[in-house]
Each structure stands twice: as structure tokens, then as C-alpha cells.
Amino acid sequence: MNDVINIYRLYMLIARHWFENRRLYILFLSAIIVLLSGWFIFFLLVGNPFLFSHNNQLIIYFMGLFISGCLSAAFLIRDFSNKPQKINYLLLPAAAFEKLTCILFYGVFLFFIAYTVIFYATDFFALKMANSTIAGLMTSNSRDALQWRQQFGITQPLNPASMVNVFSPGAGSFIFSPGDNIELFTAFFPLQSAFILGSIYFRKNSLFKTIVALLGCFLLFFIINGKILMPLFPRSSQIFGTFTVLRTFDGDGTERIYSLPSWIGQTAGFLVTYLITPVLWLATYYRLKENEI
């Protein structure tokens, strides 16, 4: 058991990793602060009070999360980027499971918390500034204030903009429908895990190679679906649900629906939602364990 996980050794590994990489992490988080602040400052300069809607806040949150999350996963795990660093990392007396736990602790857990805290902190100040500016313009009768109200068609007092709860299923309608934000979380973690695996799997240019590999997987999926599976069904057929419902039309235009038992769809949905991330972590573990220089 001592060769699989040892809490004190894991603590030493986490502490060493922080001490070795803290400048890089601080620089990376500072860059996120600057980017998010820049985005909100742009909104403030535009002056449109509706830009601070929950929808827009969600878009900023998720765009930032996806971009910085994948970049951090690809760049922050630098130990595999060159041979000397790899030797240093592989020969450090810690188990592969502990090394993986350390990677996930910083790359997934701490990154997610730090990013969310940074988002809320910048969002809080941006909303405070926006609300005080809007309140001033609403009560003022100056020429600028009148022009501003006319420009954005404001005739009634506006409610102050509030911070969005990114974890609430009812947070805004986002782009498509309520609850999409939760689905984006379930898409983010597998994607970030794929970049973590890519940073260990590929020796050089792991970011670009991971992007190409992921696009290749998507392309393969669409080719199999569009060119191999769909031609098996009658023309104009459509597939819904978790690939469990098929709609076809007879020659006279009669619609026919074929569906698999609902448990198959639910099981497939569950597997896609919750199992891809652990499976990718497991693949990362084995890649880490069996890695040669």
C-alpha cells in the first residue's frame, strides 16, 4: 500500500510542486485576472447596461473557463516537455498515483476554484462600477444622461445588474435553454482531462497535437455517423436523444418513431456525463506509470 499512496509523501509532492511552479501559477492566474478585467472594462466602456445580463456573464465565465482550463492543462504540466525534466520527474520517489493526484489537485481542483474565485471577484467589481454608473445616469438630467437613455431605449428605472450563479441550473437561458450551463460543466472536465492526458502522451507541442487528436476524434465520429450509420436507415431519418430514438418517414410521408428502452438512453447519458473524465484520468495514470524517456 505504501508504494501506491502515502499521505505524507503526497503532501511533500504537492508542497514541492507548489514551490517549484508557484511563479508560473501566479503569472497564469494574473493573466486570467487581466483578461477577465479587460473584458468587463470593455463592457463598461461600451456603456450598454444590458451587457451585464446573466447570459453574458455566463458566456464570459464559460469561455474563460474552457480556454484557460485547456491551456493550463497543456502548459502547466511541464515535467514531460523535455528529457531532463522528465528524468527528474520520473525518478522522484513518489508513486505514479501520487503524481497523478498532484497533477489533478493543481490542474483540475485548484485551477477550477481559483478561476471561479477570480471570475466572481472581477465580476463583483465590474457590476459594482456598472450599477453605480447606471444609477448616476438614471437620476441625472444632464445632456449625456438623456442621450444615453435615448441610445439604449431606457424609459423605466433599471434593476441593478446582479451576479450570476454559474452553478444554478436556472441561471439565465444561456445560448440555448435553461440548464445548458450545467451541461457545459460536464463537457469541460472531460475536455480538460483530455488536455492533461495529451500533455503526458505527446512529447512535444502537446497543446496542438491534443487539439488535432480531439478534432480527429470528432471528425471520425461524424464520418461514422454520417457516412456509415445513417445510410443504413431510410432517407430523411433523424436520430434523437442519446442515439436512442429514430424518426423515419414512409413513402407516403407517414412519420414513424422507433425508440430503444429508456434505460439504455439513461445509462448512455450517465456514462457520457460521469465516466469519460475518470476514464481519461485512468488513461493518464497508466501513461504516467508506463512512460519511458
Partner 1 sequence: MMISVQNLYYAYGRKEIFNNITLQADTGCIYGLLGKNGTGKTTFLHNLAGLLFPSKGSINIAGYSPKDRLPSFLKQIFMVPEEFYLPDMPVKSFAKHTGRFYPLFAQDHFVTCLDEFGISQNANLQNLSFGQKKKVLISFALATNTRLLLMDEPTNGLDIIGKSQLRKIIASSFDDNKCIIISSHQVKDLENLVDRVIIIDEGRIILNESLSRISEKLSFKISFDSAEIGWAIYNERLLRGHAVVSINIDDFESKIDLELLYKATMANPKLIQSIFNS
Q: Is the dihedral of CA 225, 227, 232, 233 positive or negative?
A: positive
User: Total number of residues binding partner 1 (CB under 8 A)?
Assistant: 27
What is the phi/psi pair of residue 284, to 5°? Answer: -65, -40
CB of 101 to partner 1, least distance (A): 13
DSSP string, 31-91: HHHHHHHHHHHHHHHH--GGGGSHHHHHHHHHHHHHHHHHHHHHHS-GGGSSHHHHHHHHT
Residues in 10-49 that interact with partner 1 by CB under 8 A: 12, 15-16, 19-20, 23
The number of CA neighbours under 13 Å toward the Cβ of 55 is 8
In the DSSP assignment, the letter for residue 17 is H
Residues in 107-136 that interact with partner 1 by CB under 8 A: none
Helices (H), the chain: 7-46, 54-75, 83-90, 96-104, 111-139, 143-151, 180-201, 206-223, 262-270, 276-289
Residues in 76-105 that interact with partner 1 by CB under 8 A: 82-85, 87-88, 90-96, 98
Q: Is 240 helix (H, G, I), strand (E, B) or coil?
A: strand
- Is residue 3 a contact residue for partner 1 (CB under 8 A)? yes
CB of 103 to partner 1, least distance (A): 16
- β-pair type (245-249, 238-240): antiparallel
Q: Which is nearer to partner 1, 18 or 66 (CB)?
A: 18
Q: Which is nearer to partner 1, 203 or 247 (CB)?
A: 203
Binds partner 1 (CB under 8 A): choice among 38, 157, 279, 289: 289
CB of 198 to partner 1, least distance (A): 21
- Is residue 56 a contact residue for partner 1 (CB under 8 A)? no
What distance in Å separates the CA atoms of residue 90 and residue 98, rounded to the nearest whole number? 12
Q: Which is nearer to partner 1, 19 or 176 (CB)?
A: 19
The C-alpha cell at 112 is: 477550477
CB of 199 to partner 1, least distance (A): 17
- Is residue 143 a contact residue for partner 1 (CB under 8 A)? no
Q: Using CB under 8 A, list all residues that contact partner 1.
A: 2-3, 6, 9, 12, 15-16, 19-20, 23, 82-85, 87-88, 90-96, 98, 289, 292-293
